[in-house]
């Protein structure tokens, strides 16, 4: 298994969800950075939490982060279980998981923030931070997802969100590291290795 650490890494194709359009998902990994004036870091953003508060991503300085767009009625919804298991195993001082509910794919996240929060707690015991429902594609894309998917903004790579439970990794300095398609499980070796840093 290729490690995430290094300046250059390869891209690979991942299998698509049966509910997803037939185009294959891609895994995008760390590439050479080009310096432009528009580049920001992950730590420059804020988002509304699922219970109406404000989450300042600068509070994550020094932590590695897994960001995932979630949905309650998707074939991948069961990944909440593994996300919570990963969080219980490695979350804390050095690693964080952030969930962003989104209703962008076949209306698979139709609930209100309160309904989503109740669903996550009741069915999966989710304790990692969940943000308020957003859009992760299209004209209403949340600024954090514009950054995650645009090389012009993150300075590393373009990426796309093709379905629910797409995953992004950001390092302790707020730098974009990698993206994975929905079929990559939260306990995938590369993600666990990234989260297990000392």
pLDDT of residue 4: 47
User: Three-class SS string for 57-110?
Assistant: HHHHCCCEEEEEEECCCCCCCCHHHHHHHHHHHHCCCCEEEEEEEECCCCCCCC
Average pLDDT, stretch 44-58?
98
Q: Measured between alpha carbons, how far is 174 from 29 in angstroms, rounded to an integer?
A: 15
3-state secondary structure of 189: helix
pLDDT of residue 59: 97
Residue 74 among the catalytic residues: yes
pLDDT of residue 125: 98
Average pLDDT, stretch 158-181?
98
Average pLDDT, the chain: 87
Query: pTM to 2 decimals?
Result: 0.83
Average pLDDT, stretch 127-139?
97
Nearest 5°: CA angle at 8, between 5 and 9? 75
pLDDT of residue 39: 81
Average pLDDT, stretch 171-191?
98
CB-side neighbour CA atoms (13 Å) of 105: 25
Q: Indicate the pLDDT class of residue 40, thresholds 50, 70 and 90.
A: confident
In the chain, domain spans: 43-195
Q: Measured between alpha carbons, how far is 27 from 14 in angstroms, rounded to an integer?
A: 7
Among the options 30, 66, 74, 120, which is catalytic? 74
Q: Measured between alpha carbons, how far is 46 from 143 in angstroms, rounded to an integer?
A: 9
Average pLDDT, stretch 155-159?
97
Task: List all residues 6 or more positions away from 57 whose beta carbon is below 8 Å from its beta carbon.
Answer: 42, 43, 44, 45, 46, 47, 144, 174
The CATH architecture that domain 43-195 belongs to is 3-Layer(aba) Sandwich (3.40)
């Amino acid at each position: 298994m290729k490690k995430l650490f290094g300046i250059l890494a390869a891209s690979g194709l991942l299998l698509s969800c049966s509910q997803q359009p037939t185009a294959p998902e891609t895994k995008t990994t760390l590439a050479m950075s080009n310096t432009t004036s528009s580049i920001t870091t992950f730590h420059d953003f804020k988002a509304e939490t699922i219970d109406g508060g404000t989450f300042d991503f600068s509070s994550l300085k020094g932590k590695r982060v897994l960001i995932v767009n979630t949905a309650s009625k998707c074939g991948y919804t069961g990944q909440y279980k593994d996300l919570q298991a990963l969080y219980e195993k490695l979350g804390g001082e050095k690693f964080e998981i952030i969930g962003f509910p989104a209703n962008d794919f076949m209306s698979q996240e139709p609930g209100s923030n309160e309904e989503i929060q109740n669903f996550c707690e009741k069915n999966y015991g989710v304790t990692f931070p969940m943000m308020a429902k957003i859009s992760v594609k299209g004209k209403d894309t949340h600024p954090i997802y514009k950054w995650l998917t645009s090389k012009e903004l993150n300075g590393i790579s373009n990426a796309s969100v093709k379905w629910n439970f797409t995953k992004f990794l950001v390092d302790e300095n707020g730098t974009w590291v990698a993206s994975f398609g929905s079929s990559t499980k939260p306990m995938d070796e590369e993600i666990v290795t990234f989260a297990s840093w000392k």
